[in-house]
Amino acid sequence: MAGAATPSSTSSAVKRKKGPPAFYAVKVGREPGLYYSWEDTRQQTQGFKNPVFKKFNTLPEAEEFLRSDSMVTAKPGKAKFYGVQAGHVPGVYTDYPSVLEQVTGYKGGKQKSFATWEEAQAYVNEGKRTTPSEASAPISLKDHIESSTPSLTDARKPAKKQKKNDGSARITAINNDYEPGTGPLPFDAEDGFDRTITLQPDGAVRHKTETEINARKKQPTGDFEGELKIWTDGAAKGNGRVGALAGIGVWFGRDDDSRNVSEPLLGDGKQTNQRAELTAISRAVDIAPIDRNALIYTDSYYSIKCLTEWFQKWEKNEWKNSAGKAVENKDIIEPIIARIRERELAGAYTKFQWIKGHGVDAGNIQADRLASEGALKDREAVHALATAGASEGQAVIDQLLEHANQETVSKHF
């Protein structure tokens, strides 16, 4: 876009060292696509029948894996297909690091390499045919001490029947022969943790109820990938003069986004365009998730300079400008800088991009509209207060006139 400047970002906080980037390509799963964290990948593949996904160190490799229509065949004499029969997410994998992620920390993890995809899938399917109902019930420690050989009845005792998994957390059979936290781990324990028990506020351990075991956690939905783009703008009718009314606008890329903001400029400060521009940015960084990268578009050079360059000198000078006077709009600028630093500590950057105001940029047009509407809301509020005040004043006048008339009548008689 003509006249666009290079994005700027604050760099006052110490950046954390990060490991090499990882890109997870989910070819077969709940929502196939590209993911940037193992947690997101797990949500798309865990519990999904025959998921296909792979971890890459570069974005082009991950994208190429998603675009390919056919499975990669193994080179002669070299197995490339790994079947994870028992692990966090059973399935077929094409690289060993992904296999390690599935079996590491999983009790009883099973995996094996094969020369063909079909053989690996058959191995995975064998594990699925072994259900909990086919396994023998655990033998209590007491019985084991009394007799090293369990009775035939104990050996044939089936475990509690599992309900069919509908996508919710699996039901784990609870062996009530043991005190909570003292028995063997259940078959689906992860990282050595028994999810069938819970610690109460008083420190006591108890078995969870079936409802507690199968409770689902609400997960946020929507676009959590990539950079969040936000457009901000401020508007002031009668900028800085007596009776001026200002508004702020924040647009998140869609008209139906509930995060969009159209508000009057509140506070005791002057109703100016600069304060409105800064306040719009303040609302944007407050609304944006603290751990998600954000690019904020604004047509205010003043705001960008305040938040990327000038503030560093002001902080050193105890918020005095070059003339030794107090920095204007410090009450808005300082909290924004603090929020940006919090975002950096959470691993997210905040960049600013200048765009020409009242031009052809669709986002700027929408933010300007929201700001103008916000200023009008302030005018409507002022008019309502004035109307209410006038009504109250008229009521007082009417009462005084009525009282005066009554005194006049009493004197006459």
Confidence category of residue 131, pLDDT binned at 50, 70, 90: very low
Nearest of 251, 250, 285 to residue 265 by alpha carbon:
250
Structural domain includes residue 265: yes
Structural domain includes residue 156: no
Average predicted confidence (pLDDT) for the chain: 76
List the domain range (segments joined by +) for residue 104.
81-129
User: Do 239 and 353 lie in a common domain?
Assistant: yes
User: Do 125 and 232 lie in a common domain?
Assistant: no
User: Do 29 and 122 lie in a common domain?
Assistant: no
User: Do 268 and 325 lie in a common domain?
Assistant: yes
User: Do 61 and 85 lie in a common domain?
Assistant: no
Cα–chain-centroid distance for residue 241?
42
Structural domain includes residue 393: no
pLDDT in tens, 254-278: 999 999 999 999 887 889 999 999 9
For the chain, how many structural domains are there in total? Answer: 3
User: Do 296 and 331 lie in a common domain?
Assistant: yes
> Higher-confidence residue: 394 or 205?
205
Structural domain includes residue 29: yes
Is the CB of residue 259 less than 8 Å from the CB of residue 287? Answer: yes
Q: At what angle do helices 330-345 and 273-287 cross, to 10 degrees?
A: 20
Percent of the chain with pLDDT over 70: 67
Structural domain includes residue 405: no
Residue 154 phi/psi, 5-degree rounding, is -65, -40
Q: What's residue 169's pLDDT? A: 41
The first and second tokens of residue 170, run together, are: 């699996």
pTM of the complete model: 0.43
Q: What is the CATH number of the domain that holds 269?
A: 3.30.420.10
Q: What's residue 380's pLDDT? A: 59
Q: What is the CATH number of the domain that holds 112?
A: 3.40.970.10
> Higher-confidence residue: 50 or 356?
356
User: Do 234 and 116 lie in a common domain?
Assistant: no
